Amino acid sequence: MANQKPPKEDFSLKETSPNISGRRVSTGPMTAFDLVEHMQYLYVRVVKARGLPAIADPYVELKLGNYRAITRPMIKNPNPEWNQVFAFSKDRIQVVSVEILVKDKAIVAEGGDHRTIGKFAFALVEAPARVPPDSPLAPQWYMLEDKNKARIGGELMLSFWIGTQADEAFPEAWHADVAAVSGDGVSSTRSKVYLSPRLWYMRVNVIQAQDLVLKDKNKTTPEFFVKAQFGNLILRSGVSPNKTVNPTWNEDLMFVVAEPFDDPLVVSVEEKLNNNKEESMGRIVVPLGDVAKRNDAAAAAPKWYNLGMVEVAAGVQKEVKFASKVQMRVSLDGGYHVLDEPAHSTSDLRPTAKILWKPPIGVLELGILNATGLSPMKPKNQVDAYCVAKYGMKWVRTRTVVDSSSPKWNEQYTWEVYDPCTVITIGVFDNGNLQDKAAMDLNIGKVKIRLSTLETDRIYTHSYPLVALQHSGVKKMGEIQLAVRFSCPNMLNLLQLYSQPLLPKMHYVLPLSIYQLASLRHQAALILWLRLSRAEPPLRKEVVDCMLDATAHLWSFRRGKANFDRIIKLFDGLVALFKWFDQIRKWTNPLASALVYITFVFVLCQPGLTIAAAFLCLSFRGALNYRKRPRQIAHIDTELSHAYDVHPEDLDEEFDSFPSKKTGDILKRRYDRLRGIAGRIQAVLGDIATQGERMQSLLSWRDPRATALFVIFCLIVGIVFCVVPAWWLALFAGTYVMRPPYWRINIPTFPQNFLRRMPAKSDSIL
């Protein structure tokens, strides 16, 4: 019993019935927040004050029972302006009135608190209700009173109302549930919408150089290469094949650049020296504003650039021009889509150039309702959760719900859809920046939804398990409840997309290599992180990497087994068909074998009906499967992922960084295991190559006797096909294959024996 495995957790998808207005029958217009549950808030907007003492450092304090909120203080300002909004969840308010105090930070009264200049109070029942698209409430002036309710000279301008999370003030408001957070941490709790910068592929086609000046005049075979730098990224070309002072390359160096183009392109010609050293022959600085943009496969015009060298004289840098030149084609290729996600789960397929964009075909709406049972992520069994959703160029971030394992967000977002064969990604993270800016935002779980699997205009409400793979194994980190709707006003435009290429035309006319795409995707992810980290609140690198699946290409023994199982399941139908036919040809069931033979003869007699019957059968089978169609959205399959039977050593290897941080026996053991796996793959590839080479050797005369036999056989078969009708030959072949066991010998057939005797190049492998 000690070695008994723990029970498996429930990772199933559960359909839910939240109280959202999108499910109700309504004759009115569709609201912008009909996929989430409405949450009521008391909003208080503190605008400004006037008539306060000139020597005061005023600030405003709001009191609602145990809740306390303050504005920023204004130093020595009798007419301060704050324009701050505070939001209090109505469900948590236990008092009937709100007290607003104007205090002076410069003077400390009895009890250690700041002196109160004046105050004002209002009852909750006096707060009017407001729901967009109603116009915002105009703020009003309210007289301040002292503790004896006598009026003082000062006035406070504010407005208050009861609203929902659909209010325009909601994203920027200070929320009462973040009262424990202070300082800069408050800004990281707010919701935010981010837009990815527009990314371009920059192609630097290095053609040739002329009249390079060698410092070593006696060198007869110099080796030159080109080094291109954009920002912090440096790419190098290969060494020129002609080792002269007029080298040629004709090689492409590809960069990912983002608008606005701040950094220039720096290209230099380098001479390769001994001991892995290099020496610059000159350089050229190309501002990206001067680079031509192209939207098709037409090559950019080549241009000669004069090489120069930066020299320092008397502490002043000076550009020295040489007679040396380099010829290049530099272009910004807008006909490509810059891949920043894995190709199988991308959220956008549009090219960079806006002129090539097609109109959107629909709208995707996502309601992020709540989460339940979130696992603690901090030492004090605490979790401060927020969500990030990415689709296309638009990223959204919900507000952070502090110290709650069952947070409620109820935030709704909308995206335009240009292609249904795309994926939206929703991630749940723990905010680690509320107190410590150096902490990481740990991933709690992630959900991916493919739009093509959704029925149009249907609202999907499900509770998704948040699955995490940890060093100890697979673990359920909680559940998140989402509402999704994919709307398409014109079904014809949607169906038309299924006949069009998935990627823009440039990917097929002028394709990029696999290695180029991998490098460019890494560059794109790095640029996105650098840009999104400048926003407020910033998206951290670990969040961007998680949402973009930046480590999906790394080796995982577990994923390797899962992909192998997927391939095996693809051939399950063929294997079952082969086994069934093997039973038929062996006459295990004589009645079934006889029926198959009669059907075969009928097909030969009526060949025109065969193809039609096959397609009709497929159509009928598809119509029958409609009743069994999937009703739920596809989600993570822990069985297919081998999440339960994975060995701890495999998990440790999967979580290892790249390059590996392991040393010694651990690295040796993993290397030896990988060699064993590669050896088996090598043997299988060798067997496949051998079979193909045996087919090629039939006419190669490598084995003269076998080739002579095959040539004579082909001659006889050709004559027979000219004399005997084809359907008679097919009938003879089918009858021979279907012959009863009495006339059958269980040994390999003549074609198999003949092919296995043919030579292959395996004898030539060292």
Instruction: Using the 3D structure, point to which of 117, 145, 163 is the last residue of a domain.
Output: 163
- Collect the ranges in the chain with pLDDT lower than 50: 1-2, 25-30
The verdict on residue 194 lying in a domain is no
Query: How many domains are contained in the chain?
Result: 4
Q: What is the pLDDT of residue 2?
A: 45
Same structural domain for residues 239 and 93? no
Structural domain contains residue 568: no
Q: Which two tokens stand for residue 728?
A: 């008679």
Answer yes or no: is 585 within a domain.
Answer: yes
So what's the pLDDT on residue 26?
41
- 347 and 328, same domain (yes or no): no
Residues 258 and 292 in one domain: yes
User: Is 510 found in the same domain as 410?
Assistant: yes
The last residue of one of the domains, among 548, 582, 600, is: 548
Instruction: Name 16's Cβ contacts closer than 8 Å, sequence gap at least 6.
Output: 461, 462, 463, 481
Q: Which domain holds residue 691?
A: 574-756
In a domain, 236, yes or no: yes
* Cα atoms found within 13 Å of the Cα of residue 227, Cβ hemisphere only: 17
Residue 107 belongs to domain with CATH number: 2.60.40.150
Q: What are the Cα distances from residue 71, in Å, to 57, 60, 81?
A: 12, 5, 10
Q: Same domain, yes or no, for 505 and 607?
A: no
Residue 556 lies in a domain: no
pTM: 0.85
Q: Do both 585 and 698 map to the same domain?
A: yes
Give pLDDT, residue 731. 79
Identify which of 431, 410, 415, 481 has the alpha carbon closest to the alpha carbon of residue 167: 410
Same domain, 716 and 660: yes
Does 306 share its domain with 397? no
| Residue 1 placed within a domain | no
Is 6 within a domain? no
Q: Are residues 273 and 157 in the same domain?
A: no
Residue among 12, 14, 32 nearest 22 (CA): 32
pLDDT at 313: 52
Residue 183 has a pLDDT of 66
Asked if residue 426 belongs to a domain, the reply is: yes
| pLDDT value at residue 326 | 92
- Please, which residues have CB within 8 angstroms of residue 246's CB and are 6 or more apart in sequence? 208, 209, 210, 211, 212
- Same-domain pairing of 110 and 244: no
Please indicate, yes or no, whether residues 159 and 214 belong to a single structural domain of this protein: no
Distance, in Å, from the CA atom of 541 to the CA atom of 442, rounded to the nearest integer, reads: 11
What pLDDT digit, counting tens, does each position of 448-487 carry?
A: 999 999 999 999 999 999 998 888 888 899 999 999 999 9
Q: What's the pLDDT score for residue 297?
A: 86
| DSSP per-residue codes, 269-285 | EEEE-STT-EEEEEEEE
Rounded CA separation 643/457 (Å) = 35
The pLDDT tens digits of the residues spanning 645-670 come to: 777 777 777 777 777 777 778 878 87
Shared-domain flag, residues 321 and 390: no
Q: What is the pLDDT of residue 4?
A: 55
Last residue of a domain, one of 333, 358, 391: 333
What is residue 28's predicted lDDT score, i.e. its pLDDT? 39
pLDDT in tens, 296-320: 888 889 999 988 876 655 555 556 6
State residue 27's pLDDT score: 38
E strands along 383-529, which residues? 385-391, 394-397, 408-417, 423-430, 442-450, 459-470, 473-487
Cα distance between residue 168 and residue 189, in whole Å: 17
Measured CA to CA, the distance from residue 169 to residue 160 in angstroms comes to 12
Q: Please tell me the predicted confidence (pLDDT) of residue 257.
A: 95
